[in-house]
Amino acid sequence: MGLDHAEHRLAVIGAGVMGTNISALALGHGLSVTLVDLDEQVLAEAAQTIAQKLRHARLMRALPDVPHGRLTTTTVLGQVKDATAVVEAVSEVVEVKAKLLTEISRATAPGTVLISNTSCISIDELAEYVSRPEDLLGVHFMNPAYLITMVEVVRGSSTAERTMTAAADLLAALGRESLVINDSTGFVINRLLHPLINTAAMLVQEGVASAEVVDQLLEGCLGHTTGPLRTGDLIGLDNLVDSLQVLYERRGDESCRPCDLLLEKVRDGDYGRKTGRGFFEYGARLH
């Protein structure tokens, strides 16, 4: 039997773009959230960002007509001990995720659903760092999580059926539609999407077409709602490069070797929407 809606106690680790997105989604559906980060200033800014995202979600009629859940912010990882589910939403770097997942599995009780929001790293690889691999699965929320209703759910080879059921119950409480896949580095979405964005960037790098023209062709000819380079800007070009490196190193696929233009933009701090500039210019930073 699944939890009643009010019994879900969600903890989110990492107060960056995806951490604030997932928190806003949960709060907007009436769930309480404990948001953990190492930096008090980051947490203070995150609370403001989440409030902005909730207003945006309301304007877009993307949330149910229920009272918002309660947000608690903390720098103490031990505060997740009573959570029914914990989502890690930190950088797409294996060492960072591995260390954190080890600490989370120690801090939580058996049966707590451990969710990695990884976009590319294999769940089986991450399972090596948790004490209870049966409690771990991947849930790939898209950005912005409070507007995109479909999620990619990744079943590791050790993931227990009860964990899959509990995760499905949580995602239903969040109003998400789940599509379950088996584990594979990059999963489905990013094995398709990331090489496409990289190739689009190569075309700009080679002078074949401008970023505007590349995106317009994908939108106008192939029906993409958003072109690949604006999508890259939304993901964050720094996150994109990290994910491409994971795909390239683990799969040996040359189409995933980050092109020079992407690497240059990341070196220059032009990460996309969140910094105000990527392949396109934006009016303000998006936290």
- Residue pair 154/187 in contact (Cβ under 8 Å)? The answer is yes
Q: What is the pLDDT of residues 69-90, one digit of tens each?
A: 999 999 999 999 999 999 999 9
Residues 72 and 170 occupy one common structural domain: yes
Predicted confidence at residue 7, as pLDDT, reads 86
DSSP secondary structure letters along 55-109: HHHHHTT-S-SSPPPPEEEES-GGGGTT-SEEEE---S-HHHHHHHHHHHHHHS-
Predicted confidence at residue 1, as pLDDT, reads 46
Q: Which of 164, 182, 200 is the last residue of a domain?
A: 182
Residues 76 and 144 occupy one common structural domain: yes
Which residues are 33's β-sheet partners? Answer: 10, 71
Residues 50 and 77 occupy one common structural domain: yes
Predicted confidence at residue 285, as pLDDT, reads 57
Residues 212 and 165 occupy one common structural domain: no
Residues 206 and 91 occupy one common structural domain: no
**287 within some domain:** no
**280 within some domain:** no
- Give CA separation, 38 vs 21, 233, 270, in Å: 18, 26, 24
Domain of 199?
A: 191-275
- Residue pair 194/256 in contact (Cβ under 8 Å)? The answer is yes
Residues 202 and 130 occupy one common structural domain: no
Q: Which of 165, 182, 199 is the last residue of a domain?
A: 182
pTM reported for the whole predicted model: 0.89
Give the CATH number, domain containing residue 111.
3.40.50.720
Q: Which of 147, 182, 217 is the last residue of a domain?
A: 182
Backbone angles phi, psi at 273, to 5 degrees: -55, -40
Polymer length in residues for the chain = 287
Predicted confidence at residue 211, as pLDDT, reads 98
Give the CATH number, domain containing residue 200.
1.10.1040.10
Predicted confidence at residue 188, as pLDDT, reads 96
**162 within some domain:** yes
Judged by DSSP in three states, 44 sits in helix
C-alpha–C-alpha distance, residues 42 and 31, integer Å: 22
Residues 134 and 206 occupy one common structural domain: no
**284 within some domain:** no
Residues 173 and 216 occupy one common structural domain: no
**98 within some domain:** yes
Q: Which residues of the chain have pLDDT under 50?
A: 1, 287
Predicted confidence at residue 155, as pLDDT, reads 98
Residues 19 and 106 occupy one common structural domain: yes
**282 within some domain:** no
Predicted confidence at residue 6, as pLDDT, reads 62
Residues 133 and 28 occupy one common structural domain: yes
**21 within some domain:** yes
Residues 178 and 105 occupy one common structural domain: yes
Residues 220 and 110 occupy one common structural domain: no
Is residue 239 packed enough to be buried (19+ CB in 10 Å), middle (13-18) or exposed (0-12)? buried
Number of domains in the chain: 2
